[in-house]
Chains A and B, each alone.
Chain A
Amino acid sequence: MLDLVGLSKSYGASRVLDDVSFIVQQGSFTTILGPSGSGKSTLLMSIAGFVEPSAGDIRLHGRSLLPVSAEKRNFGIVFQGYALFPHLRVRDNVAFPLRMRGLSSAEIGGRVKRALDLVQLQNFADRFPRELSGGQQQRVALARALVFEPSLVLLDEPLSALDKGLREALRDELRRLHKAVGMTFVLVTHDQEEALELSSQVAILNNGRLEQCADPATLYNAPGSRFVAEFLGRSNFIPVEAIHGSTGTLQLQSGRHRFEHRQDSPPAGGPAVLALRPERLVLTDGDASRPNSLPGIVSDISYRGADLSVSVTTDLGELIVRLTIGDGQAMPRTDDRVRISWSATAGYLLHDRSAA
């Protein structure tokens, strides 16, 4: 439905967006994820029509949006900090887009009521924004962005100003709303948890470039770059010096160690790293020799309630192992000699751009 084609934006010499292309499907929940300064807000504001791209195109249903001004794009936007109209009551904030569209007051009354019901603020219609909590203001902003049934809803870090508990509650609410209204949502955030939980598609930006755009499971299990593997969840990286074989089971050479690895389309040539998620690693006794394992010494243990994060020093660097301790199971201790092992399909082999 929405196509971003080779989108670039420069301010003087600095390139904020660099050749970004991806597609937003109708009815999807797409998240633009990146650290601060990655260009994600600029990207959203380009879609909204407040930033004019230096190159590339934005197309809605195949038609370029660039000649269309922001007020004619018909997108609902939830701004960072909500940008409610401070001098208008909640009711009039929500009615504003309908008044701009010249609807009859009966029609406006009905739609405003339905929008406020949707975000459960029916009893707050006569309040002013400053009389509401942050979470309530957020919901007014949502109601205002949804009430005119826009073709696309853009959300710029809508949850970042809220405290943790509220953020999680509103995350569920966002997901419920997206299902209820069936509109297309594009959300910008720097919170990876938020992105994984809400989205059907995540576009990861880094330094203005698109690192990868895929569904959350693909991003987590088959990251396209070291940046993605590091930014989404935690990863251990083992440098790989040589890869033997090209199909089926590969042999990876790393220092004096050799590991088995299976992957559908492994990267060809160039320096590579094996990315290993901490929860895919298994900790065993230090003496037993096993295939795909690495000896080491426990250097640190941090207790995290549901699980345990164990740092192990090996001759390939410090690796993190995440363990869940079952009933009656012994906890590892600092200075224990252990072996870390993993299956041939546990890791994911990546090009190491940072080493190139």
Chain B
Amino acid sequence: MTFAPGAANFRVFALFLLPALLFIGVFFVYPVLKIMLISVTDPKPGFANYALLIENPALRRVFFTTIRIAGITTLVSVAIGYLLAYRLHVAGPREMKIVLFCLMFPLWTSVLVRAFAWVALLQNNGIINSALLGLGAVDHPLPMVRNELGVVIGMVHVMVPYATLPIYSAMRAIDPRVLQAARSLGATAWPAFWRIFFPLTLPGVGAGVIMVFITSIGFYITPIVLGGGKVVMVAEYISVQITETLRWGLGSMLAMVLLAVVLLFVFAFRRLTVLRQGAA
């Protein structure tokens, strides 16, 4: 059976699409619109909630902390992800299986459990500080939890697989003959990597950056556990507004701004990488 373009066929397609559209409409579009509505109506109609973001220094701080932590997490995760992906790319089949397993295994463990595991490792009387103190490498414990460092460590640990896999798939897509060609034309290891291999992996790096950044910006459990109340990210702040102080309007406004930042980022970043690749 073949479908010719036409009104009758369009109706058939629409029928097949309907369940998915209904699902997205009821469980995604409607709630988002509702939140948007709340952000400009609660407690009273107008843009007072949005003005708070500019007026209130505490709110601003939460916001910039979130973007800073998500940005650092993205940079570190993508850098580690690139190295891991390269290792996978050059590994033999046996080593590849082992590395892939180590990479995927944490994904099957709860984020909450992993955050507490990091607390156990990083706290003042944790394994790392005890070892450093025992060796005499430091005089007093290094502060690694209840601060941004701890949050970033925990978040990077969660995000590295999401950075590695798209980069690895971009590396796999490169025709090995292209690299042989570079060598035959006189490129030694470094120029061949920097001028040919690396630019060809940029689409994967871009995908990794988008994945990690938009996920990081909404992180909730990891910053709560590893930030210990001292490092507050937007998601936690929203949760407090909705469940404790019951300022639905403020929470909704933050959620909308977060959504806008993500959309803006994806749009800008895609444009940037498309330009870098010089697509017509």
Contact = CB atoms under 8 A, between A and B. Distances in A.
Given A81-B175, A86-B178, A87-B199, A48 B184 contact: yes
A148 B184 CA distance: 11
A89 B279 CA distance: 11
A69 B123 CA distance: 52
A74 interface: yes
Contacts of A84: 178, 181
Contacts of B280: 128, 131
B111 to A, nearest CB: 37
A75 interface: yes
A83 B177 contact: yes
A80 B196 CA distance: 18
A80 B177 contact: yes
B278 interface: yes
Contact of A85 (B183, B184, B196): B196
Interface stretch (B16-24, B127-135, B185-193): B185-193
Contacts of B196: 85
Interface in A90-109: 96-97, 100-101
Contact of A75 (B184, B192, B278): B184
A260 to B, nearest CB: 54
A124 interface: no
Contacts of B195: 96
B185 A144 contact: yes
A148 B186 contact: yes
B177 A100 contact: no
A71 B183 contact: yes
Contacts of B32: none
Interface string A198-233: 000000000000000000000000000000000000
A97 B200 CA distance: 18
Given A85-B196, A87-B199, A89-B278, A148 B177 contact: no
Contact of B185 (A81, A128, A148): A148
B277 interface: yes
Size range of the interface on B? 20 to 34
Interface string A13-44: 00000000000000000000000000000000
Residue in A48, A71, A75, A96 whose Cβ sees the most chain B Cβ within 10 Å: A71
A135 to B, nearest CB: 19
A287 to B, nearest CB: 62
A70 B184 contact: yes
Interface string B16-60: 000000000000000000000000000000000000000000000
A356 to B, nearest CB: 41
Given A79-B177, A83-B175, A96 B182 contact: yes
Contacts of B188: 71
Given A86-B200, A87-B278, A97 B178 contact: no
B187 A71 contact: yes
Contact of B186 (A80, A101, A128): A101
A131 B196 CA distance: 19
A51 to B, nearest CB: 11
A131 B278 CA distance: 12
Nearest to A92: B195
Nearest to B188: A71
A83 B180 contact: yes
B215 to A, nearest CB: 28
Nearest to B174: A86
A79 B278 CA distance: 24
A84 B180 CA distance: 11
Given A100-B187, A131-B280, A148-B185, A50 B180 contact: yes
B280 to A, nearest CB: 7
A80 B176 CA distance: 12
Given A87-B277, A89-B278, A131-B280, A100 B180 contact: no
A79 B180 contact: yes
Interface of B: 175, 177-178, 180-188, 191-192, 195-196, 199-200, 277-278, 280
Interface of A: 48-50, 69-77, 79-81, 83-87, 89, 96-97, 100-101, 128, 131, 144, 148
26 contacts: A49-B184, A70-B180, A70-B183, A70-B184, A71-B184, A71-B192, A75-B184, A77-B181, A77-B184, A79-B177, A81-B175, A81-B177, A83-B178, A83-B181, A84-B181, A85-B196, A86-B200, A87-B199, A87-B200, A87-B278, A89-B278, A97-B186, A100-B186, A100-B191, A128-B280, A148-B186
Given A50-B184, A70-B183, A96-B182, 14 more contacts: A50-B180, A69-B183, A71-B183, A71-B184, A71-B187, A77-B184, A81-B175, A84-B178, A84-B181, A85-B196, A87-B200, A97-B185, A128-B280, A131-B280
- 7 closest A-B pairs by CB: A100-B186, A97-B185, A83-B181, A83-B177, A77-B184, A71-B183, A79-B177
